């Protein structure tokens, strides 16, 4: 597994302090991107939270996911959440150590009071003493939130006093990209009122039992005001693989006003990803689950088609210039401003997603701008299927014959790739196993590259380049 050591430095630990006018929650930031460029410790917000106890519980839920491994839980995982200021809201994001759960807390304008929200993205420190303090927040005291260092810290402290070094797997970064691509194909499948939401979520198993005894994935279907289990993916059903992975939602259940469930249209018996959103006063907490507890988002392959075309690479460079930390990216507006078709804009957004530059909000059915505070540009060149496909193209292993293509693999095996109305199928074992459910195989990717004009023998750096 390819990984790097990520160093995250803060001027001081985040802390919850008492003050004459209530409690003060200071969340310290690390190096991050802003409209003015990279800053060591950007400041995004200083004001009050309208629902202190709710926000504290929701922030702890995001931190729970960052510290969890739902598959092989004996291995440690601890990554600080990512915070983005989008001008009208704060977004806190995290990914589980196993790569199968993506969490996001959106603190919206009604949840914030008395301060302007800045623009940019960075890590925010959530340490163990802070977690303990947040868990004791009551409902009566006002809570002032500061995201980023205050002026005193900036002027009197020189250099970081808190530094964390954590291994950062490339698959964790790829997971951010895959999660937003998959979520873009979701629709709202069910909305439960507060009482039904609490009843359903409290009835889920807390540990183990990721699959039913019969070995198949779990499904639920909307019935009346609630959800009920079903043995098969009937129309309107939503997959619930590894229901214990929703445990972080337990922190906020007593504050929930509704539960919304998002998923793709059912198209077979294979398990699918889904998003579970708890609506809270002035905010939303969403957990997106991969199709299986043992299956991280990084292997889903949803971004590969966009990465395999140089057209999308050029389009992405243009679209990146037009992004302005919008909380809601309007594809039509970008198409008009760039002169590209909406389809090419969407492909460019997928490409930008592989570098952590956009996410997807299922509640608003829209992309949003953010910049992950990691070296995410290496995601493309460390994607094994994309790298293998580029090697096949460079070796001249692809022969086209109308709708049929022949790919001679490195071991001499010949694979047939057929194009049926733009959908590529292959005779290889990967296709036979997944039937396109985890993206294209390397042979289909190679054929798509050649059909789009990738020159045989071209320098691999052109394929692996990414968006700068």
Contact call for residues 93 and 46 (beta carbons, < 8 A): no
* Whether domain 178-296 has CATH 3.10.150: yes
Domain spans, the chain: 8-93+105-167, 178-296, 304-378, 384-464
pLDDT of residue 62: 96
- Select the more confidently predicted residue: 22 or 281: 281
Reported as a single tens digit per residue, the pLDDT across 109-142 is: 999 998 899 999 999 999 999 999 999 998 777 8
Tokens 């929930």, located at residue? 256
Residue 460 confidence (pLDDT): 36
Tokens standing for residue 300: 């889903």
> Fold identical between 178-296 and 304-378?
no
Among 444, 379, 431, CA closest to 170: 379
What H or E segment, with its residue span, contains residue 34? strand 32-34
The predicted pLDDT at position 74 comes to 57
Give the pLDDT confidence score for residue 430 in this predicted structure. 81
Least confident of 58-72, 194-208, 295-309: 295-309
384 has a pLDDT exceeding 50: yes
Q: Compute the average pLDDT of residues 372-378.
A: 68
Q: How confident is the model at residue 3 (pLDDT cuts 50, 70, 90)?
A: low
Mean residue pLDDT of the chain comes to 84
Q: What is the DSSP letter of 374?
A: S
Confidence of residue 157 (pLDDT cuts 50, 70, 90): very low
- Predicted confidence (pLDDT) per residue in 399-428, tens digit: 998 889 999 988 888 999 998 877 789 999
The pLDDT assigned to 134 comes to: 93
Asked if 354 contacts 305 with a C-beta cutoff of 8 angstroms, the reply is no
Strand partners, 16: 25
Whether the per-residue pLDDT at 462 is higher than 50: the answer is: no
Q: Which secondary structure element, helix H or strand E, spans residue 263, and what is its range?
A: strand 258-263
Contact 60, 135 (CB under 8 A): yes
CB contact at 8 A, 59 and 16:
no
CATH architecture of 304-378: Orthogonal Bundle (1.10)
Please indicate, yes or no, whether the overall pTM of this predicted structure exceeds 0.75.
yes
Summarised one tens digit per residue, pLDDT across range 172-213 is 777 877 888 889 889 999 999 999 999 999 998 876 544 444
Q: What pLDDT band is residue 257 in, cutting at 50, 70 and 90?
A: very high
Q: Structure tokens of 414?
A: 């010949």
For residue 12, give Cα distances in angstroms to 87, 117, 122: 25, 22, 15
Residues 6+ apart with CB under 8 A from 332: 342
């Amino acid at each position: 597994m390819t990984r790097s050591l990520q160093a995250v430095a803060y001027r001081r630990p985040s802390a919850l302090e008492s003050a004459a006018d209530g409690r003060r929650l200071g969340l310290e930031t690390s190096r991050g991107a802003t409209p003015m460029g990279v800053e060591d410790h950007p400041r995004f917000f200083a004001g009050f939270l309208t629902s202190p106890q709710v926000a504290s519980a929701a922030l702890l839920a995001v931190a729970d996911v960052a510290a969890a491994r739902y598959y092989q839980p004996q291995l440690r995982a601890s990554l600080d959440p990512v915070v983005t200021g989008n001008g009208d809201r704060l977004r806190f994001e995290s990914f589980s150590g196993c790569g199968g759960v993506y969490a996001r807390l959106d603190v919206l304008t009604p949840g914030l009071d008395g301060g302007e929200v800045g623009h940019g993205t960075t890590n925010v420190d959530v340490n163990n003493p802070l977690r303990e303090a947040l868990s004791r927040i009551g409902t009566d005291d006002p809570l002032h939130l500061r995201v980023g260092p205050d002026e005193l810290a900036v002027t009197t402290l020189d250099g970081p006093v808190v530094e964390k070094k954590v291994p950062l797997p490339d698959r964790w970064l790829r997971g951010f990209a895959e999660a937003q691509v998959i979520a873009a194909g979701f629709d709202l499948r069910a909305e439960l009122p507060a009482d039904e939401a609490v009843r359903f979520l409290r009835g889920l198993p807390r540990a183990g039992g990721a699959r039913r005894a019969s070995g198949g994935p779990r499904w639920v279907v909307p019935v009346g005001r609630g959800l009920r289990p079903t043995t098969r993916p009937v129309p309107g059903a939503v997959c619930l693989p590894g229901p214990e992975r929703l445990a972080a939602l337990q922190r906020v259940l007593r504050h929930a006003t509704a539960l919304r469930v998002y998923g793709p249209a059912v198209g077979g018996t294979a398990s699918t990803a889904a998003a579970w959103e708890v609506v809270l006063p002035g905010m939303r907490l969403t957990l997106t689950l991969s199709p299986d507890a043992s299956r991280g988002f990084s292997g889903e392959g949803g971004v590969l088609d966009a990465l395999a075309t140089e057209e999308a690479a050029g389009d992405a460079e243009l679209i990146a210039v037009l992004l302005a930390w919008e909380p809601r990216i309007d594809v039509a507006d970008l198409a008009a401003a760039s002169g590209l078709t909406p389809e090419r804009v969407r492909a460019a957004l997928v490409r930008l997603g592989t570098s952590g530059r956009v996410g997807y909000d299922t509640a608003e059915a829209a992309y949003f701008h953010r910049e992950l505070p990691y070296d995410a540009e290496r995601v493309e060149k460390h994607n094994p299927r994309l790298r293998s496909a580029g090697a096949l193209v460079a070796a001249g292993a692809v022969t086209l014959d109308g709708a049929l293509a022949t790919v001679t693999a490195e071991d001499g095996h010949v694979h047939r790739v057929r194009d049926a109305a733009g959908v590529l199928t292959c005779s290889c074992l990967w296709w036979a196993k997944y039937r396109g459910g985890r993206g294209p195989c390397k042979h289909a990717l190679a054929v798509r590259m050649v059909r789009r004009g990738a020159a045989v023998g071209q320098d691999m750096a052109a394929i692996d380049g990414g968006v700068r």
